[in-house]
Structure formats: structure tokens, C-alpha cells
Structure 1
Amino acid sequence: MGEQAENLNYDCNYNMFLAKIMLSNLTRTEDRQRAVKWMKKLTTCNRSIEEMKLRNDFMYYLVINIQQGELQPPFTENPPTAQLPNIAHLLPGGIAEVEVDEFGDQQPSQATKPMLYENSPDGGAFLAAQPVPRCGAFCYLAVVARDPKHE
């Protein structure tokens, strides 16, 4: 896996460190216990680069939740015993429905994608990885240069 795996593990370990030192921000004992269960689960998610990237997305959102002092979905439930699902389907404002493809993998339903995801060059992958505010507004602005030959 090489250097990319090392970088992903470094990021995960750093977020794990942050989560541990801020754990006292969670006032409810059940929330602290659930956060620890999630941290233990996430430490086992390292079989592939893609799984490590997904693990780091979960770690990032877990740190944000702990920092805010309140767990939000998907962290309000115990971690799954199987592989981690795509985080976009679990976060508030994420894609609500999924379809199962011929391999049994969950895929976002094309009919339920928000217009912003449909028009995004990466299919909304960047937006799905951004924090969603509990109140207020989320603003996204992108400036891109397109090759005039491809227009």
C-alpha cells in the first residue's frame, strides 16, 4: 500500500488522538461509551486504501461530534459489525435512498441525488465529505477552469 497508506494511518491516528483528548466534551456516559466503540471499530478498518479513506471520513466526523459535545447520526447508534457503509448515506443531508447493484453493493439511487450532486464533476463526493451544520446554512463556491477544446 505504501506511502498513501502511511499518510492515511497518520491522519487516522491524529484524529484518534483528538477524539480521545476531547472525549470529556460528551456529557452523557452512553455517548462516551458509544464513541469509544466507534473508535475501536474504526481502528480495524484498514484492509484497503478505499476502506482507510472511508475510515478517515468517519473519524473526521466523529471528532467533530465529540468536539461539539453531542453525537449525531450515524454515531448515535453502535457501529456496524460488518464493513463500514458509505458515509454519505448516514450523515444528515446525505443521500437517503440506496440501490443494491448486481454484486450486492449499495449504490446511491440516481433518482434521489440532489441537483447539486448531479451537477458536481465528482458526483458530490467532495460535498458529501464536508461537515453539515445543525443550524444555519451551508455554502459552497467553486471556481474551475475548463479547457476550451472540450466545450
Structure 2
Amino acid sequence: MARESEEYKNAIKDIASHSHQLESPFDRVRCVEWCRKLAGLSDEDLESCKLKNEYAQFLRIQARHKFLHGPFTSPPPDGQLSTLSECLGNLMAQQIPYLPRVGPLCPVIHHKSPDGRAYVSTKQIPGGGVFCYMAVSPDGLKCTIK
């Protein structure tokens, strides 16, 4: 979780240094609105850290290239953010009417032990079943999530 938080902070710093170069004042306002929305999300669990980081990295790329598109052309939603993949899938479905809308994606569960020596991840397999990954390191070494 620390790595995701650090990447998020670096992305926000980079966005701040490039957002003033956006040509449209509306884009600059949108950029600030999205940064505030992301800053308001919890840092307590891995999933929300990953969600913040996904959006921040995508916004970072756009701010560096001085052009906002996709979800950042409109204000952030008042409620909870969907995953970036779900959001982009729905934007594509709006542009291409014969594509089906994307619903909520199956959750992926991640858990890391407090001492960092064990890690478990599960994901539902389409058509039934569950994929489970577990890593345990010997004393003195810590598992790294990649």
C-alpha cells in the first residue's frame, strides 16, 4: 500500500506542475476537481489506493500532454468512483452504440499480513471457480506485491 500511496503522491505533484499548461480554463478547473475527488478517497485499504492511483496516473499522462479526454472531460461523479477499466468501457460503449455497457467487474480480493510476510489474492474465474494466489516468505524477508 505504501508503494501505491507514493506513486499517487508523485502523480499529483506532476499533475500540479503541468496542469497550468492546459490551454482551456475549463480543463484546468476539471483537473483540480478530479484531484480533489481523488484526494478525498480513503487511503485505508489497498483497493481504494489502487483506484486513486489508476485515475491519477491516467490524469498525469493527459496533463503532461496538455489535453484532457475520457472521464476527465466532465466533473467527477458525486458518489463512488467505478474502476477505471469499467469507466473507460462505458465511455467506449457510448461512442459505439452496438457495444454492450460494462457492469461492475468481479472484485479481486488482496490481503497482506501486517508484518508483510504473507500475501493472498483471489479472483473469480468466468464460468465458475476462484483463482487463489498465496505467497509466504521466510523469516526476515518480506513479500512484495507486483
TM beyond 0.5: yes
Higher Cα Rg, which structure: 2
Inter-CA distance 8–24: structure 2 relative to 1 (3 Å threshold) = same
The one-character-per-residue Cα deviations of 1:89-134 (angstroms, maximum 9, x if unpaired) are: 22379774223xxxxxx238xxxxxxxxx9xxxxxxxxxxxxxxxx
Distance in 2 of aligned mates of 1:15 and 1:89: 21
1:17-96 to 2 correspondence within 5 Å? 17-46=13-42, 47-91=44-88, 96=93
2:98 is the counterpart of 1:98: no
- Can you give the 5+ residue segments of structure 2 that lack an aligned partner in the other structure? 94-100, 107-125, 127-146
Note if contact 2:90-2:102 (Cα within 8 Å) is conserved in structure 1. no
Note if contact 1:88-1:94 (Cα within 8 Å) is conserved in structure 2. no
Q: Where does residue 140 of structure 1 map in the other structure?
A: none
More strand by share: 2
Distance in 1 of aligned mates of 2:22 and 2:89: 20
Note if contact 1:89-1:95 (Cα within 8 Å) is conserved in structure 2. no
User: What secondary structure is seen at the aligned counterpart in 1 of 2:88?
Assistant: coil
Tell me which stretches of 4 or more aligned residues in structure 1 moved more than 2 Å.
Answer: 89-96
- Can you give the 5+ residue segments of structure 1 that lack an aligned partner in the other structure? 100-105, 109-117, 119-151
Q: Where does residue 133 of structure 1 map in the other structure?
A: none
The one-character-per-residue Cα deviations of 1:15-42 (angstroms, maximum 9, x if unpaired) are: 0000000012211000000000000000
Aligned residues: 99
Root-mean-square deviation over aligned CA pairs:
2.2
Deviates more, 1:42-51 or 1:28-37: 42-51
TM-score by length of 1: 0.59
